[in-house]
């Protein structure tokens, strides 16, 4: 009888191990299924983010173009207004037109929160030194001439200022 109890005990343990193995396999299958769903969700999210990024990029371009159109309109009016004017009137009209267009461009930059980069002391993050000029009385590193203005929007440098720096 002792042998029978031992066989029954082994049989019960074997069944328990098989039961545990089956439960582990089922748990593994559930985890694998969940992992497939998560991976699919992530791929969808990545695809949607790429579409959204493209959308916002296009919207930004459209916004800037809308702001540029009045400036283009002013250019067209200025060119049309030159027809039929005398040489002297043409020069005065051109200067007024150029001045108006320049002010509109500055106004657009201001609306976009674009600022001119300050140019007192040379800063390699905001300036591009294109020349070093020996100037008596000026300490080294002082900007002595701005060859091309630089622009920034907050912390983003759109274009560094091109400057000549005292040596």
Instruction: For 55-90, write each residue's pLDDT tens digit.
Output: 999 998 898 888 888 888 888 887 777 777 777 777
Total domains in the chain come to 2
| Beta-strand runs (E) in 58-153 | 115-116, 127-133, 143-148, 151-153
Q: Which residue range(s) make up the domain with 136?
A: 116-167
Would you state the pLDDT for residue 21?
95
Boundary-marking domain end, from 88, 112, 136: 112
Q: Tokens standing for 56?
A: 């916002």
Give the pLDDT mean for 16-38.
96
Q: Which single residue is written with the structure tokens 């396999």? A: 25
Measured CA to CA in angstroms, residue 61 lies from 48, 50, 101 at distances of 20, 17, 21
Whole-prediction pTM value?
Answer: 0.61
* Statement to judge: residues 146 and 164 lie in one domain: yes
Give me the pLDDT at residue 76, please: 81
Q: What is the CA radius of gyration of the chain?
A: 36
């Amino acid at each position: 009888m002792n042998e029978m109890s031992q066989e029954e005990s082994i049989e019960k343990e074997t069944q328990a191990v098989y039961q545990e193995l089956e439960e582990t396999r089922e748990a593994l299958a559930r985890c694998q299924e969940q992992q497939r769903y998560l991976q699919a969700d992530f791929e969808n999210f990545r695809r949607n983010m790429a579409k959204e990024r493209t959308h916002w990029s296009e919207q930004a371009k459209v916004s800037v173009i809308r702001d540029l159109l009045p400036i283009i309109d002013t250019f067209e009016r200025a060119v049309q207004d030159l027809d039929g004017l005398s040489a002297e009137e043409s020069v005065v009209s051109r200067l007024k037109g150029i001045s108006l267009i320049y002010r509109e461009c500055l106004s657009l930059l201001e609306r976009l929160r674009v600022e001119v980069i300050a140019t007192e002391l040379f800063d390699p993050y905001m300036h591009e030194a294109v020349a070093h000029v020996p100037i008596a009385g000026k300490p080294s590193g002082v900007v002595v001439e701005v060859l091309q203005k630089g622009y920034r929007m907050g912390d983003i440098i759109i274009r560094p200022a091109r400057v000549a720096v005292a040596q």
